[in-house]
Structure 1
Amino acid sequence: MPVPSRSAATERSLLREHAFRTLRAAIVDGTLEPGERLNDAELCAWLGVSRTPVREAIARLEQIGLVTVRPGSSTTVSPLDVRATVEAQTVAAAMHELAAREAVPALTAADLDAMTSANGAFAEALETGEVDAAIAADDAFHGVFVRVSGNRRLAAVLDDVTPLLRRMERTRFASLTGRASVAQHARIVELARAGDAEGAARANRENWLTLRPLDSPGDSPEDGPDQEDADVPR
């Protein structure tokens, strides 16, 4: 029997992934706001998929804390949760520390140049106040370690926790004041270029712990930190 070019299972998987990533991005960038009610029919029409991929995507979003599902009642975009963000930050910092430790011995000159270039783009975006560009450049910088480490489990964990951090960053800060992170990034590259895996790993972890969403997990999201503590993004 000829092998089908694409199975029905593969098609469903692609539709499910498309729905999940599109909805996740809309929640993170604020298109879908905290507390907003999600209607299956409207989401299906917007995404151009059937109800099944939408419901599967919603289940994944609930698992990572981006939506709240009340069976038989409603599905809404989760409110900002400071405690969850702090927990996500701790996990992300540990994963990026591991990524640097595993990646440094395998970095090439091209990898180091890519990190330097990303940091330059990051600095420029901070100067012009372009939030999207700054976040993209920050992701590109740290993404080199994640990619070179080749650790798929590590990457999967980051894929779950990073959106929680990015969402808080976008919502809580109208301007970026993370210029100190440019110097931190440069130091990380310097340590990596010297082959200091432990030093680069520690510096990478500290860089991710720079953000302090609030003074304590019990504070209100409106109370924000002092600008000198708000190094966003890393």
Structure 2
Amino acid sequence: MSPPLSALKDIKELMAKAEQGDKDAYVALGDIYKDGLGVSQDYQAALRWYVKAADQGDPAAQWQVGLLHQSGHGVPRNSSTALEWWRKAADQGHAEAQYGVGCMYHHGYGGVTLDHIQAMHWYLKSANQGYAAAQCIVGYFYSFGYGGIDKDDGQAVAWYRKAADQGDKTAQYNLGTMYQYGKGVPQDKVVAMGWYKKVLDLGRDPAASAKILELEREGYTVA
């Protein structure tokens, strides 16, 4: 099926801007080819456009170049190269890239040694910008005392709630467990059930279903 004329017109306009060195146009064209918006999906073409913007210091493009290297789309998978690009974006305050760098240290990928302190450093930078996935993992670190911090269930709850309020399923589930067992908050199994239900409403989740059945057998329902 041919792409709609409106899409072709948009691509033509972006190409004209790209020829003038517009890095926003480079990023937009990268997005178009990465996601197959009005064109056949082409990761190699996406990478070429992203690199043009990344080489000019655009953090969103640097994040995308790293993502393509990490996933192995359009280029051989290379976590070390991904980390190099993510660092460039993270140093400019890009929240997703900061989270990505944190993940590398958290799991020891990209040629770095596993280092929970460095991971927490980058996760916090991302979390403080409101990135839900980072907020959830910061909560997790507080739950277990990772990353050079003391275990603090109250802080864990606070960070889980920030992410949960943005619809993060993992944070909603974790917040449910905190209420179910009274960690960092007064035990409240009805509230716990409510958070588990939110997870289930976002899609089938065996662990949320098991928790709900467990509480239902105890006689609890959502208020």
Identify the TM-score tier after normalising by the shorter chain: under 0.3
Give the structure, 1 or 2, with the largest relative contact order (CA under 8 Å, sep 6 or more).
1
**TM-score, reference length from structure 2:** 0.26
Please tell me whether Structure 1 or Structure 2 has the larger radius of gyration of its CA atoms.
2
